Amino acid sequence: MPVFLNANDADFEAAFQTLLAAKREDSPDVDAAVADIIADVRARGDAAVIELTAKFDRMHLTADTLAFSPEEIALNCAVVPNHEREALELAAARIRAYHERQMPEDASWQDDTGATLGWRWTPVSAAGLYVPGGLASYPSSVLMNAIPASVAGVKRLTITVPTPDGVANPLVLLAAQLAGVDTVYRIGGAQAIAALAYGTQTIQAVDKITGPGNAYVAAAKRRVFGKVGIDMIAGPSEILVIADADNDPDWIALDMLSQAEHDASAQSILITDNPAMAKAVEAAINRNLASLERADIAGASWRDYGAIILVDDLAVAAELSNRVAPEHLELCVADPDQLAEEITHAGAIFLGAWTPEAIGDYVGGPNHVLPTARSARFSSGLGVLDFLKRTTMTKMTPASLRAIGSAAETLAISESLEAHGLSVRARLNHLNEI
C-alpha cells in the first residue's frame, strides 16, 4: 500500500528516512554478465554484437544491416501520420530553441600583470545516444539527447536503438532525422554501450554516451565510464507534487500517474497541507487506475512506492522536497514562483497547476533527461554543456612572468618538485640577464 505520513507524528522522521532510503531500482546482479558482454564485444566486435542481438532481440543481422539504411529511414518516416509529424516537429523546434540559449561564451582578458587568461568551449567529436526500444520506445528521448548535442556542435551523432523482432518505430527514426543524427544502429543492451565505447569493425567509437536504459545498460555505462564520458546513471522515474487546497484532485492524480505508468519501480509522492486534498487525490488515483491502459504498471508503482505526506505549511513541504531531491517537482500552489525560491534540489520544476510534468516530457523545451534517486542534490539534467569541454587559456609575457614567477618557484620547491621550479627559474634568469 502507498505510504501515508504526517509531519506532526512522533515517528515521522524515522518513517521519512525509510521512504528516502527505499531502494526502487530493479537491480539484479547483472554486473558480471555485463562485464562478460563488454569483454566479448571488445574481443570479437561485430560478431559479438550480431550474436547478442539475435539472442536478446530475436533479430538476425549482418555487418551491412547493423544500421538502418537511408532508404529504410525514408520509408519509415514516410508512414508517420501528419499529426504525429507536426507534433514531433513542434517539440524539436522548442527543444532546439531552449538549448540554443544554453550555449556558453568563450572568454579572454588581460590581468594587472599583463598575462592573458581565459577559456574556450569546444564540442566532443562524436556522441552515442542510447534510445530504449521495444515497449519503451521513446522518440522524445531521441530529441532530448540529440538536439543538445547538435546545438553544441558535435560532428558525429550515432544512435543505438534495440528493435526486437525487427520491428522499428517510425517516430524514433523521424526524430533522429529531425535532430540531425548521422547513423542509427538497430542494436541495444550492454552490447550497444560496449560497441559505442570501444568500437567494432563497423561501429565507430564515440567520446560520450548519453541516454537511459535498463539495468544492463546502466551497468555497462558504469563500466565504460573513463574510456568515454557518460551523462548519468538514470534510475526509475519519479515525481513529487506539492499541492494546496485550491487544486483539482483529478489533475494531481493524473500527474502522479503519468510517472507511475513508466515503470513499476517509479515513484509518485504528494505533499499537501490539506487533509481533504490528500484524500481526494488518493481516491482520484484509484479511480483512474480502473481505466488506465498501463494500470498494471502504474498500480504496482503506486502500491509499492507511492506516498502522501501531510504538513502544516508549505515551507515544511519545500524542506521535505529538498531532502527528496526529486527528478520532477510540480508546485501546484497559489504562488509557485515564491515557493520555488525555497527549492534547492530538483531536476526540473513545473510551476503552477497549468504546467503538468508531461509538458516537460515532450514540448516544453527543457530537457527531460534528469537526475534520479536523489542525485539532483549534486547533478543537473542533460544539456548542451554535457557535450562541450572547457579548455583554459593562459599566455604570459616577460613582465607577467617576472611578476608572479618567483611565487610559482617557491611553491614548487615547497612541494619538492624541483623541475617545476627550475622551468620557471630558467626563464627568470634569462630575464635578469637581459
13 is catalytic: no
Q: How far apart are CA 221 and CA 232, in angstroms?
A: 8
Ranges of beta strands (E only) in 266-395 are 267-272, 307-310, 328-332, 348-351, 388-395
3-state class (DSSP) for residue 122: strand
Q: How far apart are CA 324 and CA 311, in angstroms?
A: 15
C-alpha distances (whole Å) from 197 to each of 158, 200, 246, 335 are 12, 9, 50, 46
Q: How far apart are CA 394 and CA 408, in angstroms?
A: 15
Q: Which of 99, 262, 328, 368 is catalytic?
A: 328
Helices (H), 354-397: 357-362
Asked if 48 and 40 count as a contact pair (C-beta separation under 8 A), the reply is yes
Asked if 143 and 172 count as a contact pair (C-beta separation under 8 A), the reply is no
60 is catalytic: no
Q: Are strands 183-185 and 208-210 parallel, antiparallel or unpaired?
A: unpaired
**Residue 50 backbone dihedrals phi, psi, to 5 degrees:** -65, -45
∠ CA 183-187-188 to the nearest 5 degrees? Answer: 120
Cell of 37: 558482454
Q: Which of 282, 327, 330, 357 is catalytic?
A: 327
Cell of 62: 549482418
70: Cβ–Cβ under 8 A, 6 or more apart, which residues? none
Q: Which residues are catalytic?
A: 327-328
